Amino acid sequence: MLLLDVGNTRLKWALAQDGTMGADGAIVHEGKPAEALAHLDLDDEPASIRIVSVAGPVHELALDKTCLARWHRAPIHARSEAERDGLRNGYAQPQRLGADRWIAMLAAWQLAHRGAFVVVDAGTALTVDVVDARGQHLGGIIAAGLQTSEKAVLGATRFPTRDTPLVDHAGLGLDTEACVRQGAMLSVIGAVERATAVAPPNSLRVLTGGDAARLRPHLVGQWSLRPQLVLEGLQVA
């Protein structure tokens, strides 16, 4: 089974068989995920293909065409649902919840043994979703991710900046570059901590996304790092 997670910046993939993840990787797709998929080098031809995507219907159609051309397989696209396996979507219009968030929650629901959890996806966008022990999605947030926040500040100002070594911490900066980085870091930490504050006590805390490893050392509490969380959710779905 070929599992594909098409995000805003990267196409993440993994091969799975009998419930076990095998080879995996990620490709920066530069806004052209179907082209990135066309260059994916696999040793084996997948028997089935599952995709979760935030790229929209035009890109989904292009991904379908690539899968059919390369492997003669039409992929199955994950969609948000009102309920699955005891997990209940909190949106009044369930289909409007991003499919990647829903799939990540399905994976975390299994990891938490059908208990309360928080999922943080730290990518181009930062998302946080909270679910209680009854499986009820209490809601979430969408905010700028670390790098998006940094670029937004630099793009909207005339700060003269330099290329300097990346050193993350949860304190204050002592030069312009560090101040911009720390502003982004503290804004993301604050968003995560305020959103997590509404979670039930002892909730499982799960962290995924391209900046997850960069963020985890600065978050309060125990966070489980799951780089393949969305791909794990595709298996569950």
d(CA 112, CA 136) in angstroms, rounded, equals: 13
Indicate the burial class of 57 (C-beta count within 10 angstroms; 0-12, 13-18, 19 or more): exposed
Among the listed residues 18, 41, 64, 100, the single catalytic one is: 100
100 is annotated as an active-site residue = yes
For residue 96, count other CB atoms closer than 10 A to its CB.
9
Q: What is the 3-state secondary structure (H, E, C) of the chain?
A: CEEEEECCCEEEEEEEECCEEEEEEEEECCCCHHHHHHCCCCCCCCCCEEEEECCCHHHHHHHHHHHHHHHCCCCEECCCCCEECCEECCCCCHHHCCHHHHHHHHHHHHHCCCCCEEEEEECCEEEEEEECCCCEEEEEEEEECHHHHHHHHHHHCCCCCCCCCCCCCCCCCCCHHHHHHHHHHHHHHHHHHHHHCCCCCCCEEEEECCCHHHHHHHCCCCCEECCCHHHHHHHHC
> What is the distance between the alpha carbons of residues 163 and 157, in angstroms, rounded to a whole number?
17
Catalytic positions, written as ranges: 100
